[in-house]
Amino acid sequence: MKQVITSERIPIKLWLEDLDEAALNQAKNLANLPFAHKHIAIMPDSHVGYGMPIGSILATKKTVVPNAVGVDIGCGMCALRTEIRELESKDLKEIFSKARKRIPLGFNWHEESQDINLMPKGHEELPIVKNQFAKALKQVGSLGGGNHFIELQKGSDGYVWVMVHSGSRNLGYTVAKHYNETAIKLNELYHSVVNKEIDLAFLPIETPEAKHYIAEMNYCIEFAFANRKLMMKRMIESMTEVKGSFETGELINKPHNFAAWENHYGENVLVHRKGATRAFKDEPGMIPGSQGTHSYIVRGLGNAKSFMSCAHGAGREMGRRQAQRELDLEKEKARLDEKGIVHAIRHTRDLDEAPGAYKDINEVMANQKDLAEIVVQLKPLGVLKG
């Protein structure tokens, strides 16, 4: 931990020294919520978000805050070790070419509904999910855009790894939007002391609306996992066509946009992680860098001060539009080409996901040595993006 701010109702504990002003103001808003528990934890990859900084943890008493989970409910990552030792450039290009035919990217969906058995059970009892279910059947196994990716990596353990970063697509967005709007209306109705302008409308946990949100949120978390699992399966199929059959290790899955009941400092609280990874003692996880930088398989250290959490990635240094305006396309491409990485930077519009748009992953990892320890370092070989 790098610093503690004690000027608000409860402390703010930060694992970085250079949090931007907008994100710091959001952290102060969290610290002044009347139902916030013990302190606010700010991870080393943190930056401004919507209502709550990306890369932060809020524990609450008897309250759920939809915006503290975010619009991409259940967004997270999967990682899988293969027994493959080497992939040449031509192998990478062929694998990604085959994967593009199996996995819709960006705004694209499957033309046909996927197998209903891939989906989590119980959608019939969830009004928003039920309404979106037909669309979700065509979206499962699709990547989406933004910072979502599929990356092939060479591990310091000598093996090739596959990492997938994606979320709950339109399903999670629709659920989040509905319940945040519901929370806003209820907060206005009951003259909540939480200012509407800070975008942290809440639902008291005993209300039907809160119970419905938590049920639908949990479905979206499961759907996001199903989405990643199917993409991982289809990546392995693409790799098998190029390299022949091979064995794999156990799949590691970690969401980083969710809320869950946990016990911290002797109380049962609802822990909201927005762009933060759970890191219980000895729990496996992963922390990706940007395109062109190392990623990591990690083991949690169970640090109570961070509500047993760690960073979820490198974290943005520049906003998307700022990166598109200010970064040099040829220089960013050269950074990746020089390393032999099969990458996704083609046009100025792609610069929002260039390495220069992100924080230094080495600094992020150094700032959280008390939160997670490195198990395997992963060098990027090639990346598939929306």
Closest by Cα among 354, 351, 287, 357 to 316:
357
Which two structure tokens, joined as six digits, stand for 109? 């969906």
C-alpha to C-alpha distance for 386 and 23, rounded to whole angstroms: 27
- Choosing from 123, 165, 212, 312, the catalytic residue is 312
Which long-range contacts link 259-267 to residues 24+ away (Cβ below 8 Å)? 259/64, 259/65, 259/68, 259/69, 259/214, 259/217, 262/59, 262/307, 262/308, 264/37, 264/38, 264/59, 264/304, 264/307, 264/308, 265/37, 265/38, 265/304, 267/37, 267/61
Would you call 312 a catalytic residue per the annotation? yes
- Catalytic positions are 312
